[in-house]
Structure 1
Amino acid sequence: MVTRIARKAALCAALGLAGLATAASAATLKIGTEGGYPPWSMVDAQGKVQGFDADVGQALCQKLDMKCRFVVQAFDSLIPALEAERFDLVISGMSVTAERAKVISFSIPYATEDSSFVLPEGSALLKADTQDALFKGLAGKTVGVQSGTTQGAFLQKYAPDMTLKTYETQDQMQMDLSAGRLDATFSEVTPQSEFLDNSGKGKFAMADYVVKSSADPDILGLGIGAGINQKNTDLKAKVDKALCELIQDGTIKASSVKWFGVDLSNYQACK
């Protein structure tokens, strides 16, 4: 009897350890993100990635029953690193464009975002009501954009008379604007608003004219999506399904309102 009980206990212990080992070895989803683009993606003092991108990544991992591991690096290096299979996904406020889709796949565009200019408070260009008026006023001026972004590509095409200065991160660009080394910056509305609510408050303002995401879909894209290696078709199918569920159950909306104060969910993506 004692021997039988001991054997049973040993078997239970072995099964318990096996269960722990299985849980410990759960698949990990490696996600590339910039980490310097608040409130989309930023790294806190403890090295933890926070922001809308982090929320979307964590929600995806939960849906897919996987662990999340974020890999932080410069925005313009994310696609080459994804191609080299250094991580599984890119979640970094990345617009879905035809040019990028030549080298990587994209999930459904789960969010949409417009772009805007930030200029010194009091600038007459803040009240420009057309793109032509704003772009003519900025001709010959130095405008900051982030390297590798659709905003930079848009200005290269439509505003060749502007002098573009590129930056690795949004923070670096905004620091130069604050220091008077730039006449304006051009980026997505939400990080521009974040800047104006914090260090730029009272000194800078957003131009009334906003460049809609639909202004040039070939350059500005079809919305914000997760980048996926073209080889990983199974993961794309799973991510698309999970993102649709997260849009439909209100998870994307809740995170968007939390970080931006508005709902950027792309409800058309799953219809």
Structure 2
Amino acid sequence: MKFFLIVFLLFISRAGSQEILKVGMELSYPPFEMICQDGEPCGVSVALAKKLGEYLNRPVQIENISFVGLIPALKSGKIDLILSSLTVNKEREKAIDFSIPYAKTGLSLLINAKSTVENIEDANVKGKVLVVKSATTGELYALKNLNQATIRVLDKESLCVLEVIQGKADAFIYDQLSVYTNWQKNPMTLRANLKPFYEESWAIGIKKGNEALLNKVNQFIKDFTSDGGFDRLADSYLREQKAAFQKLKIPFIF
């Protein structure tokens, strides 16, 4: 009897040591964060989160949270970290800590086919209308730097794209990969300038003061990079985009 009790207690102790890693992301940003046909989270960020969980020996639980709610959820302790194509910027650094960057991207333009806009300088003139998604660096950049154009802030990527397709806006300011994807879906009505006019990095967001988790996450990123992990993710999820960027001689994000 005593033997079985010891085994049971060891089992409970081991199970308890595998604390769930709660990862926050907005599952509406394919191919990085999305819900697949089986109803389960999938995409580049989901795969990366699972690899991180394996590295930390912690089961992963994905929490689908609106992008504007991710930082409040992290600060309140609802989630352990944010892994949602999150751009590092000074405003966010005041609220949370960031890991070392794992991807480099940049802001570019998705343009209505009939618009005279060719680049960001053309866009920042009176009479031009630009759309941005709320709580993104595109919004922050536009409100800070584009004081001549009219800026419309919408809460969904799809709505921003639709505004440009319908000619209600000249261009949508967003990251390169999303601009490329939306351009490919609508080649008759949209154009793209994929050369970034503002470069930025993605990193994992962690609650301030959680140095232990931050150090482990940083080491994971270093090890995963040196082991070719990000190259494998790109080959699995972003093969077409990677080839297109290489053809355009634009550096890829990984």
Report the TM-score when normalising by structure 2: 0.85
Match of 1:49 in 2: 41
1:235 equivalent in structure 2 = 213
Moved more, 187-196 or 204-213: 204-213
- Residues 124 and 147, structure 2, Cα contact 8 Å, conserved in 1: no
Relative to 1, partners in 2 of residues 1:120 and 1:197: Cα closer, same or farther, differing over 3 Å? same
CA distance in 2, matches of 1:189, 1:40: 13
Match of 1:244 among 202, 207, 222: 222
Paired residue for 1:166, among 145, 153, 166? 153
Counterpart in 1 of 2:26? 34
Within a 5 Å distance, the mapping from 1:1-271 to structure 2 comes to 11=3, 15=7, 18-19=10-11, 22-23=14-15, 26-126=18-118, 128=119, 131-136=120-125, 139-198=126-185, 200-207=186-193, 209-213=195-199, 221=200, 223-260=201-238, 261-262=241-242, 263-265=252-254
How far is 1:61 from its partner?
Answer: 0.8
TM-fit CA distance, 1:172: 2.8
Structure 1 counterpart of 2:248? none
Give the gaps of 5 or more residues in structure 1: 1-6, 214-220, 266-271
Single out whichever of 87-96 and 33-42 deviates more from structure 2. Answer: 33-42
4+ long deviations beyond 6 Å:
none
State how far apart, in whole Å, the 2-side matches of 1:232 and 1:209 are: 36
Bigger radius of gyration among the two: 1
- Greater Cα shift, 224-233 or 156-165: 156-165
- Asked if structure 1 preserves the Cα contact closer than 8 Å seen for 2:99 and 2:217, the reply is yes
SS at match of 2:173: strand
CA contact (8 A) 2:115 2:170 kept: no
Deviations 1:23-56 (A, max 9, x none): 4872111011111122221122433222221122
Change (3 A) 1:42 1:241: same
Gaps of 5+ in 2: 243-251
Q: Which one scores higher on RCO, CA 8 angstroms, separation ≥ 6?
A: 1
Letter in 1 for 2:209: K
Relative to the length of structure 1, the TM-score reads 0.80
The answer (yes or no) to whether the contact 1:31–1:91 under 8 Å persists in 2 is yes
3-state SS in 2 of match to 1:37: coil
CA contact under 8 A between 2:180 and 2:194: conserved in structure 1? no
How many residue pairs align between the two structures? 243
Question: Which amino acid counterpart does residue 152 of structure 1 have in structure 2?
Answer: E
Q: Distance in 2 between matches of 1:81 and 1:116?
A: 29
Determine the C-alpha separation between the residues in 1 that align with 2:124 and 2:195.
11
